Amino acid sequence: MNPPADIVTARQLWWGVIGLGVVGLFVSLVDTLLNRQRFGAEFQERMQAADTNLAPATVDLLVTMGAVLGAVFGSVIAALGVLVVHQLGKGKVWARTLLTFVGIWLVIMGVASLFSIGAVEDIGPLVSGAASIVQAVMAAGAIYLCQRPESVQWFTPRPPGDPGKPGNPRVR
């Protein structure tokens, strides 16, 4: 059977959250690569505090590798998010639970971004912060839609041998 309308909308909101996460990841990657000198200088200062001398070329390579690895890990997380959202549409309770926890974390991060956005000076962090705030709003909406009565019924397991209750949208 098809999921209820609230679950369909929640899935769309989660896809939007994932899409904004990819946009934020791309913006952060571009910002890091464009400001390699600044990040390299900060990294060099931290290494000197730890009494380690690194060549400037090594520092530049480490900053670039960190940005690329961040993009790879972020892409893998986004792909896993798409798989979990797909399972949400199939009525998997574990997917709803996992997305609820992730959504709560996104809401907390969005509120933190909301209060710190005034201190941002560059366009890259400003765009990432704005994406984080919109992600938080979309995640909160998706969590709410997954907790509505019709949605809860969609996720409620049936006892073995029960073909389904009248009006249960999960009758197979």
Task: Give the whole-angstrom CA distance, residue 112 versus residue 132.
Answer: 9
pLDDT by residue (tens digit) across 52-102?
Answer: 777 778 778 888 888 889 999 999 999 999 999 999 999 999 999 999 999
| The model's pTM | 0.81
With bands split at pLDDT 50, 70 and 90, how would you rate the model's confidence at 172? Answer: very low
Q: Which tokens belong to 7?
A: 């679950």
Q: How far is CA 79 from CA 18, 74, 85, 86, in A?
A: 9, 9, 10, 11
10 Å Cβ neighbour count for 108? 11
Please give the share of the chain, as a percent, with pLDDT higher than 70. Answer: 92
What pLDDT, on the 0 to 100 scale, is given for residue 140?
Answer: 97
Residue 171: the pLDDT is 46
Instruction: State the average pLDDT over residues 24-28.
Output: 90
Provide the pLDDT for residue 166: 44
* pLDDT in the model for residue 102: 97
Instruction: Summarize pLDDT for 108-151 with one digit per residue, the tens.
Output: 999 998 898 778 788 888 888 889 999 999 999 999 999 999 99
Q: Are 18 and 82 in contact (CB under 8 A)?
A: yes
The residue among 165 and 137 whose pLDDT is bigger is 137
